[in-house]
Structure 1
Amino acid sequence: MGADSVLQLRCKCKYDAWGKKGHNSLAARLASQQPGTDLKIEDHQTYSEMWMGTYPSVPSYVIATGDTLEEHLNKYPELVGKKIVEKFGGGLPFLPKILSMDKALPLQIHPDRELSKQLNKQDPEKFTDTNHKPEIAIALSQFELFAGWKPLNDLTKLFQHKPLQRFLPTPETHFNDASLKRVAQNLLEADEKTVAETLNELTQIPEKEFGKYSYIPKMLERVRSQYSEFDNGNLMAVVCMNYFVLHPGESVYVPTDGMHAYLSGDIMECMARSDNVLNTGFCPRPERDNIPLFCEALSFWPHEPDEALLGRHPSDKSLNGKTIEYAPPISEFNVLATHLSAGEKEKIKPINGPSILVVTSGQGRMSAKASEGKSHDLKEGYVYFVGCGVELEFEASGGNLDVYRPYAE
């Protein structure tokens, strides 16, 4: 008898200080609903991330067997599918998460494959793999973040403000990617006194003098209150980066080496299977990584806010027209999102590769047209691995049903 092609998973939460507390955390609420969990939500505890997949530091478990999902897929590689095994070397090539954020995550980039290999060789305990980590973030609630760079012409104008001129290579600097790299390094290497002085001077400038970036003084006050006035990330993020407020269903794509910092909200995040990161702001100075290395690795795309946004389109895998698709410009994954009202049904064509689905709200049933012909409960927080080549049917009951499903093909 072959392996079941649909497996319910038990997933774990992380407790980073930037997470939301208690039941305010969607990540905690979802994880606490899974059968067999030992998670008891405590009001004083922060809950930051629920991981779904095969990454060894926070593995998911197959409820029926007790194995980690990685162990199970190693036993039954046919669940992943020959094409994906040959292309990515087995296992899941992507890592999905639910994040719940109450304050800014570290200002960070994820190194490319070449740098990841170097860092893994130098410090395998910190840089635990050799892969790259492009990612997408889909808003499940209002989601604030910094991502990508403001347009070069806008940066040229902003740095005409006297407090910022101290970071320019020359007073006549006109911004291009090369000069922006120098300015970025100057901002990140500035001492605490200079950072605090600059921040205090900028907050004294009337909002209207920042033009369309009138949010800058109040945003500087906000991030200063979360960390300190001495954090270089305050200036880098607020002055240089695009600030977004996304609504549920909207998303961003962060390329390899793309600088970003998530501020607040609940998101469904998916990335290539990696956990490597270089941090350089919104964290204590001892936790910051090598700044010249960070700046050397830094990507200077995108320069326009619209370039950071990831669109969505009706999925050709949907048979009833109730599913949209997020398709980032990478090969590791796409994400399907199905929304059903009470009583509605959706069929999804077989996918030639593995997928993981998570129910973010609502309830219903799922049937899998595979050899075992089983049906499964869909409840808020339930997570399933779906093997290669399985047609699924969803039916909502008792209200709306929302299902997100990253897959590789």
Structure 2
Amino acid sequence: MDRLANTVRPYAWGSTTAIPELLGVRPTGEPQAELWMGAHPGAPSRIDRGPGPTALGDAIAADPEGELGPDTVRRFGPHLPFLLKLLAAADPLSLQVHPDLEQARAGFAGEEARDVPHDAPHRNYKDANHKPELICALTTFEGFCGFRAPAVTAELLAALGVDSLKPYADLLHAQPESDALREILTAVLSADRAAMADTVTAAAAAAERLAAEEGPHHKAYAAYATIARHYPGDPGVIAAMLLNHVILNPGEALYLGAGVPHAYLSGLGVEIMANSDNVLRCGLTPKHVDVPELLRVVRFEACAPAVLRPEADEHGEEVYETPIDEFRLSRYVLAPCAEPFTVLPTGTPQILLCTEGSATLCDAEGAELLLDRGDSAFVRAGERVELSGEATVFRATVALAGSSAASVTSAA
């Protein structure tokens, strides 16, 4: 087991205080948006097994089966297939969508064939992998996720009383769901920017007014007014009005599959994703928006946001169930009145993150590693580790046989 030294990403939308507070360090005054835990080359965690710090990815590359286990290597190759993060949003993130695996492979191959530089601002595909993700709230967490039922969106748009939005409301009543959503998003993102800026300004003013009236959608209207203040005139404000507004309570999570448009607005959470950086943006950003490619990737279907609550098994592991293999997120809420220690499964690689209290890891030789709030550790596949203490510990691994079925053992 190895303590992780992790990198904070200072994106402009990040909170200046949330991650420092969790880590117990003094804020720098600069945004601290994401703390990365894993082997992504953009900001790999570092470990120290004696000779000095080394990137976790380099340790894995030197002995893939020893670090990840043969089953993980057979299924995903010699790379850690997930990335764990702490995400702290003070301002809205871009409205975005992620490709599925086939789209990512084709898009990456196409840009490689066209010699598009990897750091080019107009490049869409940084790798050939998909990027399903899960966000679990540590504080109240707000965002947009998936297309809202068309009839409800039509009602919401009509209530704004903005003449230029009336055709969109009419389309949502008259056309089949997928056709209407595609036509509206295409029109919003392809429209003359000056004309759309006028529409956004009028819609934002109306949303501000309706947010104060505490009607059926007042929280959603307040969110639209917020993003419009951050991105005045941005067509992404209107695009966001097509989406479900979601507020997660601490401990609740949201799974985001391929093609589902979404944006995070505020809050602190634990995020896990497939090890990819592929993002197609729809708005709320000064960055490149590739409308034709975006429209090819978006799934134009309404869906209620699937808010997940952890399911506890007989061993006390609370699992957030998702439909993919690349990652599996769970948590242990340890209490001093519980059994003296929990033996974690050994078949797959694990990253453990303490978000409350203090936890102790103990290996088969009796060596101990203390994880305080904000600390994290990497546990190699096959390594027997006991977990104890009074703490909340998130466990990230892969969803293969051997990644679950923890056992609880007494000191006797």
TM range (shorter): 0.7 to 0.9
Letter paired with 1:141 = T
Tell whether 2:104 aligns with 1:110: no
Specify the alignment match of 2:223 in structure 1: 219
Specify the alignment match of 2:28 in structure 1: 42
Any unmatched runs of 5+ in structure 2? 401-412
Q: Which moved more, 1:136-145 or 1:122-131?
A: 122-131
Mapped partners of 1:143, 1:222: distance in 2 = 15
| 1:172-231 Cα shifts (integer Å, max 9, x gaps) | 633411221111111222333333332343333763999632334433321121221x11
Q: 1:216 to 1:382 in 2, by over 3 A?
A: closer
Displacement after TM superposition at 1:97 (Å) = 0.6
Matched residues, number: 379
Residue of 210, 213, 232 corresponding to 2:235: 232
Tell whether 2:57 aligns with 1:59: no
Mapped partners of 1:31, 1:301: distance in 2 = 40
Displacement after TM superposition at 1:348 (Å) = 3.6
Mapped partners of 1:101, 1:354: distance in 2 = 28
Mapped partners of 2:265, 2:378: distance in 1 = 30
Specify the alignment match of 1:401 in structure 2: 391
Q: 1:72 to 1:204 in 2, by over 3 A?
A: closer
Mapped partners of 1:103, 1:171: distance in 2 = 30
Q: What TM-score do you get using the length of structure 1 for normalisation?
A: 0.85
Residue of 258, 261, 265 corresponding to 2:260: 258
Specify the alignment match of 2:410 in structure 1: none
Q: Which moved more, 1:218-227 or 1:156-165?
A: 156-165
Mapped partners of 1:300, 1:391: distance in 2 = 46
Residue of 358, 363, 369 corresponding to 1:363: 358
Mapped partners of 1:153, 1:172: distance in 2 = 6
Displacement after TM superposition at 1:342 (Å) = 4.5
Mapped partners of 2:194, 2:219: distance in 1 = 24
Any unmatched runs of 5+ in structure 1? 1-5, 34-39
Do the aligned residues in 2 keep the contact of 1:60 with 1:68 (CA within 8 Å)?
yes
Letter paired with 1:187 = V
Percentage of matched positions with identical amino acids: 28
Tell whether 2:325 aligns with 1:331: yes
Do the aligned residues in 2 keep the contact of 1:134 with 1:271 (CA within 8 Å)?
yes
Displacement after TM superposition at 1:120 (Å) = 2.5
Alignment of 1:4-403 (within 5 A): 6-21=1-16, 24-26=17-19, 28-30=20-22, 41-43=27-29, 45-64=30-49, 65-77=52-64, 78-121=66-109, 122=111, 123=116, 124-125=118-119, 126=123, 127-160=125-158, 162-167=163-168, 173-202=174-203, 203-204=205-206, 207=210, 212-228=216-232, 230-237=233-240, 239-284=241-286, 287-301=287-301, 303-305=303-305, 308-315=306-313, 318=315, 321=316, 323-342=317-336, 344=338, 345-369=340-364, 372-396=365-389, 400-403=390-393
Do the aligned residues in 1 keep the contact of 2:251 with 2:309 (CA within 8 Å)?
no
Q: 1:356 to 1:214 in 2, by over 3 A?
A: same
Letter paired with 1:270 = I
Do the aligned residues in 2 keep the contact of 1:108 with 1:259 (CA within 8 Å)?
yes
Displacement after TM superposition at 1:167 (Å) = 4.1
Mapped partners of 1:246, 1:199: distance in 2 = 27
Mapped partners of 1:169, 1:153: distance in 2 = 10
| 1:77-102 Cα shifts (integer Å, max 9, x gaps) | 22211001000002211111100110
| 1:277-324 Cα shifts (integer Å, max 9, x gaps) | 11121111xx1321121122102355223xx322320135x3xx2x30
Displacement after TM superposition at 1:147 (Å) = 0.6
Do the aligned residues in 2 keep the contact of 1:155 with 1:175 (CA within 8 Å)?
no
Q: What TM-score do you get using the length of structure 2 for normalisation?
A: 0.85
Mapped partners of 1:250, 1:343: distance in 2 = 25
Q: Which moved more, 1:79-88 or 1:68-77?
A: 68-77
Mapped partners of 1:117, 1:186: distance in 2 = 28
Do the aligned residues in 2 keep the contact of 1:310 with 1:328 (CA within 8 Å)?
no
